[in-house]
Amino acid sequence: MTNLKKLGLTALAGSLVATSAFAGEMSVSGTAKVSYTSGDTLTTTGNPWSHSQGITFSGGGELDNGMNVSVTLVTDTGSSTFSSSNLVLDMGDAGKFAVSKEMSSGHGYNAYQDKMPTAGEEVWDDMSGEASGRVGMEDSMTISYGNALAGANFSVAYNKDSATANGSDKSFGVDYSPMEGLMIFGARADISSGAAIVTDKHTTFGATYTTMGATVGMQMTSLSKDAANSDQDRTHIAASFAVNENLSVSYGMSTVEFEGAGNVDQEDSGFAASYTMGSMSLSASSNKSDNAGGTSGNDDTHKEISLAFAF
């Protein structure tokens, strides 16, 4: 009888350990993309074909106090180790706390860098010599917090500069939907700059409106830099339209104004389209930049078509 009791207790303990081990969940997903890119005006052309892939490990579970913890680990093309990660503690009504490495937690200024609708690439993406007017805060080992109050979503982020002499990056962001389809947003960041404790001040605000498959938006960004005659102001407008549940198209344009003498306005524009069928998506984009970097006649173009698979 004693041996039977021991056997029963051992089996019970084993089942409890097994139950505890499966309290959380783990999943693996990935992407693979093949792209063809046209030769850029300002860059050295080479093989137009490229292949990229990534694998994402996601896990999480509920704690004894009812909170949930989740972790995301990502490997990118050519990397044998995790290139970025995110740890999030969801405290329910008390908000979400996150620690991120080389990826956005969806909090602070970086979540609002470019909120304009697009069916694919942004108008500034992959251009050469241009100033996107959207420089944000450091995303390596950033701590952040987000919550909702009176219908508004707000978040803060903090990153301690790795250089002893430098300061830290700090930011705040908020968005609010006063009516169905309309979202207004704004964000502010203080960015440490240079080898001394100096601060660049980044501010952005804008709005998007969605109705009947169409989304339009406008965003304005101001980069007030500590260095003399280096401020930038950007105005970006864009529109996208979901033709059906599979096909979307978009067009966007932006203007970057420079403070420095002798600079002219940089003007960017671009079309994008994407078609999704199950886990496969086909996308194309065509971007153009005039007076890239504020230099008159410094023009560039970029065209790309890609086929991506999610698994």
| Sign of the four-CA dihedral 75, 80, 81, 84 | negative
Q: pLDDT 10s per residue in the chain (311 long)?
A: 444 344 444 443 444 444 444 467 889 999 999 999 886 655 556 788 988 888 999 999 999 888 999 999 998 765 556 678 999 999 999 999 999 988 878 899 989 999 999 998 888 877 766 677 776 777 778 999 999 999 999 999 998 875 555 578 899 999 999 999 999 999 999 888 765 566 789 999 999 999 999 999 999 999 998 878 889 999 999 999 999 999 999 999 999 999 988 899 999 999 999 999 999 999 999 999 999 888 898 888 889 999 999 99
User: If DSSP states are collapsed to H, E and C, what string results for 179-199?
Assistant: ECCEEEEEEEEEEEECCCCEE
What does the alpha-carbon distance between residue 152 and residue 95 come to, in Å, rounded to a whole number? 13
CATH 2.40.160.10 fits 27-310, yes or no: yes
294 φ/ψ sector (left φ>0, alpha ψ -120 to 50, else beta)? left
- What is the DSSP secondary structure assignment for residue 292, as one 8-state letter? G
| Sign of the four-CA dihedral 102, 104, 108, 110 | positive
What does the alpha-carbon distance between residue 264 and residue 203 come to, in Å, rounded to a whole number? 22
What does the alpha-carbon distance between residue 187 and residue 193 come to, in Å, rounded to a whole number? 19
22 φ/ψ sector (left φ>0, alpha ψ -120 to 50, else beta)? alpha
What is the domain partition of the chain in residue ranges?
A: 27-310
Q: What is the pTM of this model?
A: 0.83
